[in-house]
Amino acid sequence: DAGVIQSPRHEVTEMGQEVTLRCKPISGHNSLFWYRQTMMRGLELLIYFNNNVPIDDSGMPEDRFSAKMPNASFSTLKIQPSEPRDSAVYFCASSYRGSHYGYTFGSGTRLTVV
Amino acid sequence: KQEVTQIPAALSVPEGENLVLNCSFTDSAIYNLQWFRQDPGKGLTSLLLIQSSQREQTSGRLNASLDKSSGRSTLYIAASQPGDSATYLCAVEDSSYKLIFGSGTRLLVRP
């Protein structure tokens, strides 16, 4: 398996623009997680899905953020409109819920909003 | 609410030293505990996973222990090398299957 695949690796956008981050989890994993990493706040869980259903979105900072998982092999995290304070590295991770195999992380998307 | 703390925040040691990184968590009702390594500008690489029923796991020069009742885990690195320089992150999977991270220990191994 190629692991968790995220795209794009880097994204630079202007304030107010819509940004869409993409994630392909490991085949067979039934849980998918979106994290945000900043120097100030470390790694924060934004939202997670189990069997394509959002289970907990309490970490989503505000209504400008939305996430979808239309099928078991694809998820998006959208920010509309983007703001400079959204600049961070966004990680996607997947796991098989209830197993003891742990989480696998993607390489992340470094987002810069200018 | 589960909180994870890592001490120290930063550590600088000469090559060859054995070292211990500490992790503590507030709620002992965890499912797994996982240690990750993160190199600057890179993603997270899983090092070791300890199930809640286990006491320790070993991989090469790394050994991780878990004392669930006291809410503590340690990562022991034997004979440290400059290539071990990175940030080490401890994360616990809570009873709702969410992975909660500590803020990490930034390790520098000096040649």
CA distance A66 to chain B (A): 19
Q: Check A100 against B42: CB less than 8 A apart.
A: no
b/e sequence A5-19, b meaning 16+ C-beta within 10 Å: ebeeeebebeeeeeb
Q: Residue A99: its pLDDT value, please?
A: 76
Q: Residue A101: its pLDDT value, please?
A: 79
Strands B10-14 and B99-101, sheet pairing = unpaired
The pLDDT mean for chain A works out to: 94
Closest of B33, B26, B36 to residue B4, by C-alpha: B26
Nearest by CB to residue B49, choosing from A102, A105, A106, is A102
Q: Residue A61: its pLDDT value, please?
A: 87
In contact, A13 and A90? CB cutoff 8 Å: no
CA distance B37 to chain A (A): 11
What's the pLDDT tens digit per position in A14-68? 999 999 999 999 999 999 999 999 999 999 999 999 999 999 999 998 899 999 9
Omega prior to A54 cis, within 30 of 0? no
**Per-residue confidence band for B97, with pLDDT thresholds at 50, 70 and 90:** confident
Q: In angstroms, how far is CA A6 from the centroid of its own chain?
A: 9
Closest of A43, A45, A5 to residue A21, by C-alpha: A5
Write down the residue that tokens 């996973």 correspond to.
B49
In contact, A71 and A30? CB cutoff 8 Å: no
Question: What is the distance between the alpha carbons of residues B35 and B54, in angstroms, rounded to a whole number?
Answer: 14
Q: Check A105 against B36: CB less than 8 A apart.
A: yes
Strands A65-71 and A74-79, sheet pairing = antiparallel
HSE of A5, CA atoms in CB hemisphere, 13 A: 7
Nearest by CB to residue B99, choosing from A33, A55, A107, is A33
The pLDDT of B99-104, averaged and rounded, is 94
Question: What is the distance between the alpha carbons of residues B43 and A110, in angstroms, rounded to a whole number?
Answer: 11
Q: Residue A1: its pLDDT value, please?
A: 66
What's the pLDDT tens digit per position in B18-70? 999 999 999 999 989 999 999 998 999 999 999 999 999 999 999 999 999 99
b/e sequence A43-66, b meaning 16+ C-beta within 10 Å: bbbbbbbbebeebbeebbeeeebe
User: CA B25, B30, B36 angle in degrees (round to 5)?
Assistant: 65
Closest of B25, B27, B26 to residue B35, by C-alpha: B25
Tokens of B82: 């400059």
Length in residues, chain A:
114
Question: What is the distance between the alpha carbons of residues A71 and A12, in angstroms, rounded to a whole number?
Answer: 27
The pLDDT of A84-109, averaged and rounded, is 92
Tokens of B99: 């992975």
